[in-house]
A and B are shown apart, each in its own frame.
Chain A
Amino acid sequence: MNKSQISKNNNKLIMALLKGRTLIVLAILVIFFSFATPTFLQPESMLLIAKHVALFGILGIGMTYVIITGGIDLSVGAIVGLGGMIAGGLINEGLTLKFLGYTIYFSVPIIVIITIICGALIGIVNGLIITKFNVAPFIATLGMMYVARGFAMLRSSGATFSNLVGKVGLGNTGFELIGGNIGGIPIGAIILLIIAVIAAVILKKTPFGWHILAIGGNEKAAQLSGVKVNKDKILVYLFSGVCAAIVGIITASQLVAAHPASGETWEMNAIAATVLGGTSMAGGVGTIGGTIIGAFVIGVINDGLVMCGVSEFWQMVIKGLVIVFAVIVDQFQRNLQAKMALQSRNENK
């Protein structure tokens, strides 16, 4: 009895450490890099990291919703590229209506809305293919990845829209401000914070949030409980598309240029941030807060290693190892959790 009590307390301690593991890893990384390179803790470095984290973080939030339902969205990186090209094209070239022989220039807020709607539509198509035609999410979004990237390239035959500042006469100036700072804080980071809060509240406080957790946990049981599985899945891919379009806008604005290849392989960073944050690839488990911390880990590793002068190739190796290690620890936590659940079940008897 006494012995089992001790092991139980040990388990609880290990559990607490495991739950906070991503945060612990983040702290270790920050301490390590601040000793390794003097530039790391300086404001401009922090600003740079925050800008990058914002991008992975926002993508990661959309990805977290998708992965919670047991799916995956490989098309987000391509949507980043396409979103940037849509916004950039509308600023530099406007929308030409051929049959009227007439070109419309929209103001920046309208352009932002149009781009987000495009992202949403792509997400809906993903969702429809997955739910109505029963295509595996991996395949459906892989296809969409190529289609969206292809359209991004087609928009300008592979060229970049540069100098996206608009013209006063056309009333479309101010796009570059989105990539700037307010009071020393990158606007991207503020947008990340807003989306994170909204997404976390939806996940925790609304029926929709609980329904997607239920779908990922046990789709059949969720369906028999009256959860509208297909509708909720479509909404989740829609949300992921919207997040990606927003990232496309922020990236284009930060660079004041839209490049059709931008966002390539970012879906992997988003997945990595999500998994590091404790979301289970099997679905049913995940938090927004975890994903944000995961995005910070990815961001700090990326930029920290660059600042240390570590080669790009070693960066890849290290990032890969961190991700796989995180998942191994995750499995360990799940096993321990199951063990503790059984323990308390036997005690109840």
Chain B
Amino acid sequence: MDNNEKTQEGVCLRAECIDKIYPGTKALDNVSFDVLTGKINVLIGENGAGKSTLMRIIAGIEQPSSGKIFMGDEEVSFKDPSEARKYGIGIIHQELSLFPNLNVYQNIFMAKEKIKNFTLDNKTHEELSKKILERLEYPLDTNTMVGDLKVGQQQMIEIARNLIQDDLKILIMDEPTSSLSQQEVDVLFKLMRELTASGISIVYISHRLEEVMKIGDHATILRDGKFVAEADIKDIDVPWIVQNMVGSGKSYPKRERNIDWEKREKVLELKNLTLPKKGGGYLLDNVDLDLKKGEILGIYGLMGSGRTEVFECLMGLRPEHTGTVALEGKALEIKNISEQIDRGFAIVPEDRQREGVIQTLDISKNISLSSLKNYVKGIFVSEKEESEHIEAEIKDIHIKVADKNLPILSLSGGNQQKVVIGKGILTSPKILLLDEPSRGIDIGAKTEVFDIINQYADRGLSIIVISSELKEIIAVADRVIVLSNGIKTGELVGDDIKEETLVLDSYKGHHGH
């Protein structure tokens, strides 16, 4: 089983022609990827490029639709993460997957417990944990509850968990620095160097290009689920990476609008919007923003930049925020969601399955849920009126349904998304907030979704769109603001909205460290 003979010199794992198909989208399209032994292999791409999916396949969390994985001479396939672990593959997730209710050594030895005399050998657990943490230069009381640790410390526990297995060969790190301070990042980088020196191969995913340049040995770039380019870091620079990330391929048609925005009235104005982060720092740091009638404002930013938090503040999910929000010139006191909906806000959330649709209700009820009270006659919902509105909406935004009383899950992702948008629009909002409206839907449906957005903007609806897909945001938005680390780092209008500028602005907020 432990075959250390490599077919190719210096490659410890080769993923060949990997496809991964989800209902409605192809996340990976014939991607091949080599993990170079003892190197830091960085994987770069926009959100949705397929980086995390590829890593999840290599770590056994998901299975490829087709394609092969080789380690040495052997073809391997992993049914689950524990099988991948047997081959020495460990992964540190984007979101930490620790047990906050257990202490440090319990977390480190979870599912790898040492047994002595039929009981847990906690003394050994403690000793080994201490040893590992010392090696990481991160001494901690191993009896501390993990929930009481800072995020950076928790990250170290994640790494320690993977190091506890002696035969670790490949360590996958999915955006490990997104929640670390600069100091913690430095410690992490030093550690990564030590690991590679001891022969462990690291796959490193990061959005922070400066970091990639600093730490990486070899870069692979993915775009839209396809392999784009690879090169040794010493041969390339940031502009080259950005160029390959965004590509020069087809883009969506830029819409032409000849409107003098100076003369349009402001519908929404945010001043000094600030949202404190648990445990210090800010999720949003004095963000100013305004929105004109009929305008489509884009918000671009990386994960953790504070983009979703802006919407959460506006919808009343973050009552702890400070700063002023004025709707049509009147300052608002934002208390709860239903009040915000009554005032004319509507939201299409980022995670459609978790926050958008209600899986147990049929299509029609999913559309009318937010606006039900508009169809009440006496105490009952007038089904005739409700049904008229639902049908008008289905027609208006071209939801492809055979029967509006079918379960919502009988629709494709794109049509489900249109249902969620339709639900918001039926409340006759003044401002529509769309968080990643094209996530997880196929390319045809994407275009349709953006047609809908344009169509409603032309009718005078003011819209804010969060998107991490550059081409989309450039095509759809009249104006884009860029958030980075909770700070507004850029505001671009019209022809100044360029992919390179957006990408560069989206890193600026991290220079403050």
Q: Which residues of A contact B (CB under 8 A)?
A: 201, 205-207, 210-211, 213-214, 216-218, 220-228, 280, 283-285, 337-338, 341-342, 344-345, 348-349
- Residues of chain A within 8 A (CB-CB) of B142 are none
- Identify B354's interface contact among A221, A225, A341, A345, CB under 8 A: A221
List the B residue with the shortest CB-CB distance to A284: B360
**Is the C-beta of B173 less than 8 angstroms from some C-beta in chain A?**
no
CB distance B406 to A226 under 8 Å? no
Q: How far is the CA of A159 from the CA of B337 in the complex (A)?
A: 50
28 pairs of residues in contact across A and B, judged by CB atoms under 8 Å: A206-B376, A206-B380, A206-B381, A211-B372, A214-B358, A214-B365, A217-B360, A218-B358, A218-B360, A220-B355, A221-B356, A224-B337, A224-B349, A225-B341, A225-B369, A226-B370, A284-B359, A341-B407, A341-B410, A342-B409, A342-B410, A344-B410, A345-B23, A345-B411, A345-B412, A348-B410, A348-B411, A348-B412
CB distance A337 to B360 under 8 Å? no
- Identify A226's interface contact among B341, B381, B412, CB under 8 A: B341
- Identify B358's interface contact among A206, A222, A345, CB under 8 A: A222
- Residues of chain B within 8 A (CB-CB) of A283 are 360
CB distance B337 to A226 under 8 Å? yes
- Identify B360's interface contact among A205, A213, A342, A344, CB under 8 A: A213
Chain A: minimal CB distance from B365 (Å): 6
**Is the C-beta of B125 less than 8 angstroms from some C-beta in chain A?**
no
Q: How far is the CA of A348 from the CA of B407 in the complex (A)?
A: 13
With A207-B373, A207-B381, A348-B400 already in contact, the answer to whether A284 and B358 are too (CB < 8 A) is yes
Known: A217-B358, A342-B410. 12 other contacts (CB 8 A): A205-B381, A205-B383, A210-B381, A214-B361, A224-B315, A226-B338, A226-B370, A337-B407, A341-B410, A345-B411, A348-B400, A348-B412
Q: How far is the CA of A226 from the CA of B346 in the complex (A)?
A: 9
CB distance A225 to B409 under 8 Å? no
Q: How far is the CA of A349 from the CA of B412 in the complex (A)?
A: 8
**Is the C-beta of B427 less than 8 angstroms from some C-beta in chain A?**
yes
**Is the C-beta of B259 less than 8 angstroms from some C-beta in chain A?**
no
Chain A: minimal CB distance from B310 (Å): 15
CB distance A222 to B354 under 8 Å? no
**Is the C-beta of B357 less than 8 angstroms from some C-beta in chain A?**
yes
Q: Which of B358, B376, B406, B423 is the most central at the interface, judged by chain A CB atoms within 10 Å of its CB?
A: B358
CB distance A221 to B358 under 8 Å? yes
Q: How far is the CA of A311 from the CA of B347 in the complex (A)?
A: 59
Q: Enumerate B337-369 residues with CB–CB distance to A below 8 Å.
A: 337-338, 341-342, 347, 349, 354-361, 365, 369
CB distance A218 to B381 under 8 Å? no
- Residues of chain A within 8 A (CB-CB) of B360 are 213, 216-218, 280, 283-285
- Residues of chain B within 8 A (CB-CB) of A220 are 354-355
Q: Which residues of B contact A (CB under 8 A)?
A: 23, 315, 337-338, 341-342, 347, 349, 354-361, 365, 369-370, 372-373, 376, 379-381, 383, 400, 402, 406-407, 409-412, 423, 427
- Identify B347's interface contact among A206, A211, A224, A341, CB under 8 A: A224
List the A residue with the shortest CB-CB distance to B347: A224
- Identify A221's interface contact among B349, B400, B407, CB under 8 A: B349
Chain B: minimal CB distance from A140 (Å): 21
Q: How far is the CA of A341 from the CA of B357 in the complex (A)?
A: 15
Q: How far is the CA of A207 from the CA of B375 in the complex (A)?
A: 9
List the A residue with the shortest CB-CB distance to B400: A348
CB distance A228 to B338 under 8 Å? yes
- Residues of chain B within 8 A (CB-CB) of A345 are 23, 409-412
Q: How far is the CA of A301 from the CA of B384 in the complex (A)?
A: 42
- Residues of chain A within 8 A (CB-CB) of B354 are 218, 220-221
- Residues of chain A within 8 A (CB-CB) of B370 are 225-226
With A220-B355, A227-B338 already in contact, the answer to whether A284 and B406 are too (CB < 8 A) is no
Chain B: minimal CB distance from A208 (Å): 9
Q: How far is the CA of A345 from the CA of B406 in the complex (A)?
A: 10
Q: How far is the CA of A341 from the CA of B23 in the complex (A)?
A: 13
Chain B: minimal CB distance from A50 (Å): 30
CB distance A205 to B380 under 8 Å? yes
- Residues of chain B within 8 A (CB-CB) of A207 are 372-373, 376, 381
Q: Which of B359, B365, B372 is the most central at the interface, judged by chain A CB atoms within 10 Å of its CB?
A: B372
- Residues of chain B within 8 A (CB-CB) of A348 are 400, 402, 410-412
CB distance A218 to B359 under 8 Å? yes
Q: How far is the CA of A211 from the CA of B338 in the complex (A)?
A: 13
Q: How far is the CA of A95 from the CA of B191 in the complex (A)?
A: 77
Chain A: minimal CB distance from B415 (Å): 8
List the B residue with the shortest CB-CB distance to A282: B360
List the A residue with the shortest CB-CB distance to B341: A226
- Residues of chain B within 8 A (CB-CB) of A222 are 358, 369
Q: Which of A207, A213, A337, A344 is the most central at the interface, judged by chain B CB atoms within 10 Å of its CB?
A: A207
Chain B: minimal CB distance from A224 (Å): 6
Q: How far is the CA of A201 from the CA of B383 in the complex (A)?
A: 13
CB distance A210 to B315 under 8 Å? no
Closest 10 pairs between A and B when the two form their complex, measured CB to CB: A284-B360, A217-B360, A226-B341, A217-B358, A207-B372, A341-B410, A225-B370, A218-B358, A205-B380, A226-B338
Q: How far is the CA of A280 from the CA of B358 in the complex (A)?
A: 15
Chain B: minimal CB distance from A343 (Å): 8
Q: How far is the CA of A201 from the CA of B356 in the complex (A)?
A: 27
Q: How far is the CA of A35 from the CA of B261 in the complex (A)?
A: 83
CB distance A338 to B369 under 8 Å? no
Q: How far is the CA of A178 from the CA of B383 in the complex (A)?
A: 37
Chain B: minimal CB distance from A15 (Å): 12
Q: How far is the CA of A345 from the CA of B412 in the complex (A)?
A: 6
Q: Which of B365, B373, B381, B410 is the most central at the interface, judged by chain A CB atoms within 10 Å of its CB?
A: B410
Chain B: minimal CB distance from A72 (Å): 17
CB distance A210 to B372 under 8 Å? yes
With A205-B381, A224-B347, A224-B349 already in contact, the answer to whether A341 and B355 are too (CB < 8 A) is no
Chain A: minimal CB distance from B464 (Å): 15
List the A residue with the shortest CB-CB distance to B406: A344
List the B residue with the shortest CB-CB distance to A344: B410
- Identify A214's interface contact among B23, B342, B369, CB under 8 A: B369
- Identify B427's interface contact among A223, A226, A342, CB under 8 A: A226
CB distance B369 to A227 under 8 Å? yes
Chain A: minimal CB distance from B443 (Å): 14
- Identify A206's interface contact among B23, B357, B379, CB under 8 A: B379
Q: Which of B357, B360, B402 is the most central at the interface, judged by chain A CB atoms within 10 Å of its CB?
A: B360
- Residues of chain B within 8 A (CB-CB) of A349 are 412
CB distance A221 to B355 under 8 Å? yes
CB distance B361 to A284 under 8 Å? yes
CB distance B357 to A221 under 8 Å? yes
Chain A: minimal CB distance from B24 (Å): 9
Chain B: minimal CB distance from A18 (Å): 15
CB distance A217 to B409 under 8 Å? no
CB distance B361 to A217 under 8 Å? yes
List the A residue with the shortest CB-CB distance to B408: A341
Q: How far is the CA of A222 from the CA of B369 in the complex (A)?
A: 8
Q: Which of A214, A216, A283, A337 is the most central at the interface, judged by chain B CB atoms within 10 Å of its CB?
A: A214
Q: How far is the CA of A345 from the CA of B380 in the complex (A)?
A: 32
Q: How far is the CA of A46 from the CA of B407 in the complex (A)?
A: 40
- Residues of chain A within 8 A (CB-CB) of B23 are 342, 345
